[in-house]
Chain A
Amino acid sequence: PAELKLRNITTMDVRGAATWEALASRDASSRDAAMASLHQEVMRRVESVGPMPETPSGPSATTAPGVADDLSDILARVLMLSKRCPYDDVREKCVWLLRSIQDIGVRIPRPLGNGPSKFIPEKEILKVSKVDSRTIFEEAFSLGRLDNISLVMGFHPQYLESFLRTQHYLLQMDGPLSLHYRHYIGIMAAARHQCSYLVNLHVNDFLQVGGDPKWLNGLEGAPQKLRSLGELNKILAHRPWLLTKAHMESLLKAEEHSWSLAELIHAVVLLTHYHSMASFTFGCGISPDIHAEGGHTFRPPSLSSYCVCDIANGNGAVDELLADQQVLEVSGEVEVLMERMKQLQECRDEEEASQEEMATRFEREKSESMLVTTAEYEECVPSRDVSRHFEDPSYGYQDFSRRGEHVPTFRVQDYSWEDHGFSLVNRLYPDVGQLLDEKFQIAYNLTYNTMATHQGVDTSMLRRAIWNYIHCMFGIRYDDYDYGEINELLDRNFKVYIKTMVCSPEKITKRMYESFWRQFQHSEKVHVNLLLMEARMQAELLYALRAITRYMT
């Protein structure tokens, strides 16, 4: 049934693409026209379906299930527009349209959950989207890519722009891989972390660019070439330090199924991009897009169907009350952190740790990071049919850390993104190196010089600690960094969050999101997420690229 549903969405997308596109146009008059035609279309379908029976069996029970499905898909999209469209006129008209057909007696959908993120109140996100990121959103919207991820990233428009440009280039522009391969690799990567949100998104795209639905039954259905990528995907997602040039060789020298170097680079960039995207998606609790499956419901809101978590996740009165309490409890957290940063800055010159001490500090952080395990397993994200096929439950970060294997140290001074990785990527997949470089830099250097309510703070130390901590978890060491700083600056809750997000993002819970940095604003937590995501991507890339370099030399 999931597949059927998918196909329906796709057919509608294709047929109505022009209308939806026009609704995203910057030209107000063409939006008007498109809105009018949308209106007519909806009306026509409503008439052909007839008033929906009041029985709760759902729209599929009517005489013309196809039309009804179409209609509900369209309505879901209208609902999405009424909430997400960056243009006021379209939003208003969509609301009006929904209301008017409701008056006729048609059941209209309502969004499930609260806003783009389960963790962040909708109103905060939308507030931003109306001011800072507006033009970027409009652009993204016209490309049909204004998803919840972008909405949440909208807190940081500077980054968002670079992110969207990179992603657009990776997925749509010239590249060695064909379009459906790109989306399929995205699905593979996201499925590694059971990220149903991303899987959904790309399954649709995959089918739209003419991908074979059979492939979606799992890797076995895909061509040998993609199947052989599975191993790389697995290692890269969970234990990138195990990558050797033999892995690359097996991909590059597989006779008729072999990858070219350029294709491999493209695939590697896509894999790492989607692994880290999965981290972000879970880390910020991204909820399904309104018009996608699971983002809306046609059931009327009744008390019984309200699930508790809806209330808990929302910005209801209860929640705010709780939050207030928490703030009271932990007031002063920020100040303590700032004080520590200041101290570190000052006394660094005096206290000169010996070399061994530095080395042990790194090793300690590294091994500790292995032991920071998530205490909370209770909430298991229901995984989508498709992603189930890609999983290999026997392989994960968890297993590894329990066995207590040793992660070899990777010296960033010997292989760094700036000097080495960039050159390799840019050589084999021109322009992408540049785009990634910009994205990394923006993520690393992004700062508003604020911490919670404090202004004019130099946060570089904190950002560096976060970045290096993530790299440390992957065994990447900076010779010129004192890993003792990490211990000072990152508290345990935060470490748990980072660790979970980077290594097994599917286990992130709302409680974890809330339990770190309680006084900080949501935008700052999203900022942290961006840092985590980019640091993770770079770490994976470094290992993959080093393996490729070794293969080449």
Chain B
Amino acid sequence: MNKTGRKTPPAVKAESDWLQPMSISTAPPYEESRPVHFSLWVGDARGVQVLDLNCGLNFPGGGLHEEAYHGRRNIGLHCGGFSVKRVFLGHAEMEKMTCVSPLSGKTMFCHLDAPANAISVCRDATQVVVAGRNIFKIYAMEETGFVERLNLRVGRKPSLNFSCADVMWHQSDENLLATAATNGAVVTWNLSRPCRNKQELLFTEHKRTVNKVCFHPSEAHMLLSGSQDGFMKCFDLRKKESVSTFSGQSESVRDVQFSMKDYFTFAASFENGNVQLWDIRRPDRYERMFTAHTGPVFCCDWHPDDRGWLATGGRDKMVKVWDMTTNRAKEIHCVQTIASVARVKWRPERRWHLATCSMMVDHNIYVWDVRRPFIPFATFEEHKDVATGVAWRHPHDPYVLLSGSKDSTLYQHMFRDASRPVDRANPEGLCFGLFGDLAFAAKESLMAGDAGRKPYPGGDRRYPIFFFKKPDVTEQFAQVSSALSVFEFEANGGDEGRGRMDWFVETARRYLLTGKPFAELCDHNAKVAKELNRPQVSTTWTMLRIMYSDPGNPATPANHNISKLGNIPLMISLKEMSSALNERNKENRVDNLHNLETNLNIDENEETEGSEGQAEYLFGDAELDDDDLYSMEHDNQTEEPEYILPQEAFPLRHEIVDHPSAPEPPAEKPESPQVSGGEAEGSCLTPMESFSLISVSQLLFQPRLPPGFFSPVVRAALTHYAELGDVQMAVSALIVLGERIRKEVDELTQEHWYMSYIELLQRFELWNVSNEVIKLSTCSAITCLNQASTTLHINCSNCKRPMNNKGWICDRCHQCASVCAVCHHVVKGLFVWCQGCSHGGHLEHMREWLKHSNHCPAGCGHLCEYT
């Protein structure tokens, strides 16, 4: 300390393995006999770094050299007889003080003559060297652009020694460069050589391509290389030869990197996916090995500040960050990129950031925040071919990145010009879970301001979950706080599980689609819907019934009838009608009453008035009901009732207004009941009969509506349901209505509905319903679904092979496979067999047999059962 003339560092950060700072003069000389290299660093605030070199390497000792290094003073001291541990002083303060003012500059590029394989920056950040198969040049980086300073490819004959796979500029000696050649040579270059040829040393110890060279970060004369032949060699530049060889015992070495903080440690990555840690003093075996990637690990990089962190990039498109301080290397971060990772470099001054470029296909350079592995923090998109080398211009400036590429350009990227994918990313995400849960992520600011969400926090069915990222002071990422809300459906919530699909399953099971007269089907379905708390659907069913069961229409005229005759049928009809029917019917009636007023005699208005009063009351009731219904509906269905109601109410009235002027000929009268009977599929039941009666008596007055009269309305209604997502209603109605509506809806739409409904049914494993729907559908495309895979394959009972041709004779073993166990003749036709013992025979024979015996006729002893 004293010797350097610097004052004592302001703070000492003591850690367990650090010794107290000491001055050089007090350093105890231990064994005189062992020359040990010792180097001392003194920084402005960093303090003293004394390095332990007590074994392994044998460096000629003695001497002191002093260098300026980024405003720090770097003093190397060579002397003998020390054994001292590392000391760090004032670490934290140092970080701040070494932050250089950002380099001024702009994004710029220059054309190289040939594709670059690697680049490296001089330690003072003013020059960059570019190396490739056919290029080896030094460029100066000036304010306005790159300026070529030196071409190191000199000499008449092209030599493979110049064909560089990698290049590295020494981090303390600005005249020293090393390259790795594709032919296996390692070359060092001294820029201070006076002649044109700057080549200094040539090592041809590797047998195969050298993939990587690396200078020791602090040791001036130590160079490490890693080669395709599986060896790593450590060269001492003063001895001009390798001092140790490390055999990875596995495949080719792709990258070697000295640890930034641990003097003796280096990492090597291999083509077989392994990463090895070596102690430079122990060439016999690696200290640690772990498998980092599947496939080659193309690159690795030590974190400049965190001594235990190693980033690796591989062909498997991943960048992984490993914590090496623990016993087993622990993967702490993993970034998935879109192409194999060729280079990875930590970003200076940004603890979590690293830059990557890819080997193939993807030409961009990405800067990632390892904590946010799904989206690059920044992207540089200038290159037209893959970037092969990336380097941060200055070890303490995070804003300037240099890159060389196969497209023969050298770029200086400014961070402010980088594109930020996160800005363009869609900030909202929405996804349904398996059980109907809904997750929704959006910017937190958006979510917080959303009034609609306010009522729910802590509510019974929605649990918003928030994820915040801690803002980092140095972090420039667009403020990444997003909120993820998960909306769950409660299984037994107060809402009868409305959000779930229970109603769907239940409805599908209970709906009747065929087998009864039309009106009954509608009634039944209406009832089902009502019971499942779906009044609107229920009402629709009822309406369908009214519209299409023939007497349903004339139910309107029935009112006239009543009003005219003033007798019981009205009561009967009203009684017969369900309450829901009532609601609807009353509306009609009200309409009709208006007609009545306009068209008919007012003489009978005693009755009319009575019924009108009642009607109005009921109408009001219906409205109330509608309100109820409205409120009971799930939010997203709110428009529904509004939509339907007017649709059916108004056309009805207009039609009726029109018609009286042209009464139908009486000839129609006798036919109508028959027609209605036919439509109601055969059997008429009491309510219908009563209607029919009414209608017969009524038709004199009111013409019957044509059969297709309601079709447009119904079609619109079904389409509406389908659009709402309730394809169940659309299809069920389609089936129940059958011929009445089928022609109105175009074939393709029908098919679409059917397919959707069938798929839904099958998802809910309602196989029977689905099958019934398929059977009942009239679309050829749907019915043919049941025609597929209808074959039942059977195996021969003798040879156990599948029988292809006939059911009763096996074409392999030529045995009759299905012989009746009772009469021992071949069964052609119905063959019934016991599922327990698989014996069987003619249906009749088996039945007979089992009438008087419980045992299998084949004598196997099984107790067969005929059901």
Would you call B182 and A420 a contact (CB within 8 A)?
no
Mark contacts of B155-173 with chain A using CB atoms, 8 A cut-off: 1 yes-contact digit, 0 otherwise: 0011111010100000000
Given A356-B157, A418-B271 in contact, is the A37-B228 Cβ separation under 8 Å?
Answer: no
24 A–B pairs (Cβ distance < 8 Å), ordered by A: A18-B801, A18-B802, A22-B801, A33-B799, A33-B800, A33-B801, A37-B812, A38-B812, A40-B812, A40-B814, A411-B182, A413-B133, A413-B165, A414-B133, A418-B271, A419-B340, A420-B360, A422-B315, A423-B315, A423-B340, A423-B359, A480-B182, A549-B360, A552-B361
Closest CB pairs A-B (n = 6): A37-B812, A479-B182, A423-B360, A355-B159, A413-B182, A479-B183
Asked whether B150 is an interface residue with its Cβ less than 8 Å from the other chain, the reply is no
A-chain residues with CB within 8 Å of residue B136 when the two chains form the complex: none
Mark contacts of A425-439 with chain B using CB atoms, 8 A cut-off: 1 yes-contact digit, 0 otherwise: 001000000000100
Would you call A479 and B163 a contact (CB within 8 A)?
yes
Mark contacts of B682-701 with chain A using CB atoms, 8 A cut-off: 1 yes-contact digit, 0 otherwise: 00000000000000000000
Asked whether A553 is an interface residue with its Cβ less than 8 Å from the other chain, the reply is yes
Would you call A36 and B296 a contact (CB within 8 A)?
no
Q: How far is the CB of B408 from chain A (nearest CB, A)?
A: 12
Asked whether A231 is an interface residue with its Cβ less than 8 Å from the other chain, the reply is no
Would you call A41 and B812 a contact (CB within 8 A)?
yes
Q: Which of B204-212, B344-352, B553-561, B750-758 contacts A (4 or more CB under 8 A)?
A: B204-212
Would you call A419 and B298 a contact (CB within 8 A)?
yes
Please provide the chain A residues from 458 to 481 with a CB less than 8 Å away from any CB of chain B in the complex. Answer: 478-480
Asked whether B545 is an interface residue with its Cβ less than 8 Å from the other chain, the reply is no
Q: What total of A-B pairs shows CB separation below 8 Å?
A: 99
Given A420-B360, A480-B183 in contact, is the A36-B339 Cβ separation under 8 Å?
Answer: no
Please provide the chain B residues from 124 to 183 with a CB less than 8 Å away from any CB of chain A in the complex. Answer: 133, 157-161, 163, 165, 181-183
A355, closest chain B residue (CB): B159
B-chain residues with CB within 8 Å of residue A41 when the two chains form the complex: 811-812
B182, closest chain A residue (CB): A479
Mark contacts of A334-364 with chain B using CB atoms, 8 A cut-off: 1 yes-contact digit, 0 otherwise: 0000000000000010001001101100000
A30 to B295, CA, bound (A): 43
- For the A-B complex with A33-B801, A355-B183 known, give 7 more contacts whose Cβ atoms are closer than 8 Å: A22-B801, A40-B814, A355-B160, A413-B163, A419-B340, A422-B315, A479-B181
Please provide the chain B residues from 277 to 310 with a CB less than 8 Å away from any CB of chain A in the complex. Answer: 295-296, 298
Asked whether A19 is an interface residue with its Cβ less than 8 Å from the other chain, the reply is yes
A413 to B360, CA, bound (A): 14
Given A413-B209, A479-B182, A480-B184 in contact, is the A355-B315 Cβ separation under 8 Å?
Answer: no
Asked whether A101 is an interface residue with its Cβ less than 8 Å from the other chain, the reply is no
Asked whether A424 is an interface residue with its Cβ less than 8 Å from the other chain, the reply is yes
Given A30-B800, A411-B133 in contact, is the A420-B359 Cβ separation under 8 Å?
Answer: yes
Would you call A40 and B133 a contact (CB within 8 A)?
no
A18, closest chain B residue (CB): B802
Given A355-B160, A423-B340, A553-B385 in contact, is the A37-B184 Cβ separation under 8 Å?
Answer: no
Mark contacts of A523-552 with chain B using CB atoms, 8 A cut-off: 1 yes-contact digit, 0 otherwise: 000000000000000000000000001001
Asked whether A44 is an interface residue with its Cβ less than 8 Å from the other chain, the reply is yes
Would you call A358 and B800 a contact (CB within 8 A)?
no
Would you call B813 and A480 a contact (CB within 8 A)?
no
Asked whether B594 is an interface residue with its Cβ less than 8 Å from the other chain, the reply is no
A358 to B183, CA, bound (A): 10
B296, closest chain A residue (CB): A418
Would you call B359 and A419 a contact (CB within 8 A)?
yes
A446 to B385, CA, bound (A): 36
Which residues of B approach A to under 8 Å, CB–CB? 115, 133, 157-161, 163, 165, 181-184, 204, 206-209, 228, 271, 295-296, 298, 315, 339-340, 359-361, 363, 384-386, 407, 799-802, 804, 810-814
B-chain residues with CB within 8 Å of residue A414 when the two chains form the complex: 115, 133
A38, closest chain B residue (CB): B812
Would you call B799 and A480 a contact (CB within 8 A)?
no
Given A418-B296, A552-B361 in contact, is the A352-B799 Cβ separation under 8 Å?
Answer: no
Would you call A424 and B812 a contact (CB within 8 A)?
no
Asked whether A170 is an interface residue with its Cβ less than 8 Å from the other chain, the reply is no
Q: Which of B271, B361, B804, B812 has the most CB of A within 10 A?
A: B812
A142 to B158, CA, bound (A): 57
Q: Which of A37, A44, A437, A552 has the most CB of B within 10 A?
A: A37
Q: How far is the CB of A249 from chain B (nearest CB, A)?
A: 17
Is chain A's interface secondary structure helix, strand, loop, or mixed overall? helix
Q: How far is the CB of A103 from chain B (nearest CB, A)?
A: 21
Asked whether A34 is an interface residue with its Cβ less than 8 Å from the other chain, the reply is yes
B-chain residues with CB within 8 Å of residue A44 when the two chains form the complex: 814
B815, closest chain A residue (CB): A40
Q: How far is the CB of A363 from chain B (nearest CB, A)?
A: 13
Would you call B133 and A423 a contact (CB within 8 A)?
no
Q: How far is the CB of B184 from chain A (nearest CB, A)?
A: 5
A-chain residues with CB within 8 Å of residue B207 when the two chains form the complex: 348, 480
Would you call B208 and A427 a contact (CB within 8 A)?
no
B-chain residues with CB within 8 Å of residue A355 when the two chains form the complex: 157-161, 183
A553 to B383, CA, bound (A): 10
Q: How far is the CB of B180 from chain A (nearest CB, A)?
A: 11
Q: How far is the CB of A252 from chain B (nearest CB, A)?
A: 15
A-chain residues with CB within 8 Å of residue B315 when the two chains form the complex: 418-419, 422-423
A22, closest chain B residue (CB): B801
Contact of B813 among A37, A423, A478, A479 (CB under 8 A): A37
B165, closest chain A residue (CB): A413
A437 to B272, CA, bound (A): 12
A-chain residues with CB within 8 Å of residue B295 when the two chains form the complex: 422, 437
A479 to B163, CA, bound (A): 9
A420 to B360, CA, bound (A): 6
A64 to B361, CA, bound (A): 62
Would you call A479 and B209 a contact (CB within 8 A)?
yes
Mark contacts of A404-425 with chain B using CB atoms, 8 A cut-off: 1 yes-contact digit, 0 otherwise: 0000000101100011101110
A474 to B115, CA, bound (A): 23
Please provide the chain A residues from 235 to 294 with a CB less than 8 Å away from any CB of chain B in the complex. Answer: none
Given A40-B814, A418-B271, A479-B182 in contact, is the A427-B799 Cβ separation under 8 Å?
Answer: no
Q: How far is the CB of A128 from chain B (nearest CB, A)?
A: 29
Contact of B361 among A30, A359, A423, A478 (CB under 8 A): A423
A-chain residues with CB within 8 Å of residue B810 when the two chains form the complex: 37
Would you call B361 and A479 a contact (CB within 8 A)?
no
A413 to B161, CA, bound (A): 14
A531 to B441, CA, bound (A): 55
Would you call A480 and B812 a contact (CB within 8 A)?
no
B-chain residues with CB within 8 Å of residue A419 when the two chains form the complex: 296, 298, 315, 340, 359-360
B-chain residues with CB within 8 Å of residue A36 when the two chains form the complex: 799, 812-813
A418 to B271, CA, bound (A): 9
A18 to B208, CA, bound (A): 54
A413, closest chain B residue (CB): B182
A-chain residues with CB within 8 Å of residue B802 when the two chains form the complex: 18
A76 to B133, CA, bound (A): 60
Would you call B183 and A424 a contact (CB within 8 A)?
no
A478 to B229, CA, bound (A): 13
Would you call A424 and B361 a contact (CB within 8 A)?
yes
A-chain residues with CB within 8 Å of residue B360 when the two chains form the complex: 419-420, 423-424, 427, 549
A234 to B296, CA, bound (A): 34
Would you call A423 and B183 a contact (CB within 8 A)?
no
A420 to B406, CA, bound (A): 13
A480 to B386, CA, bound (A): 24
Mark contacts of A42-85 with chain B using CB atoms, 8 A cut-off: 1 yes-contact digit, 0 otherwise: 00100000000000000000000000000000000000000000
A44 to B815, CA, bound (A): 13
Would you call A37 and B385 a contact (CB within 8 A)?
no
A420 to B133, CA, bound (A): 17
Q: Which of B160, B184, B296 has the most CB of A within 10 A?
A: B160
A549, closest chain B residue (CB): B360
A396 to B183, CA, bound (A): 33
Would you call B361 and A34 a contact (CB within 8 A)?
no
Mark contacts of A24-42 with chain B using CB atoms, 8 A cut-off: 1 yes-contact digit, 0 otherwise: 0000001001101110110
Contact of A427 among B165, B204, B228, B361 (CB under 8 A): B361
A-chain residues with CB within 8 Å of residue B159 when the two chains form the complex: 355
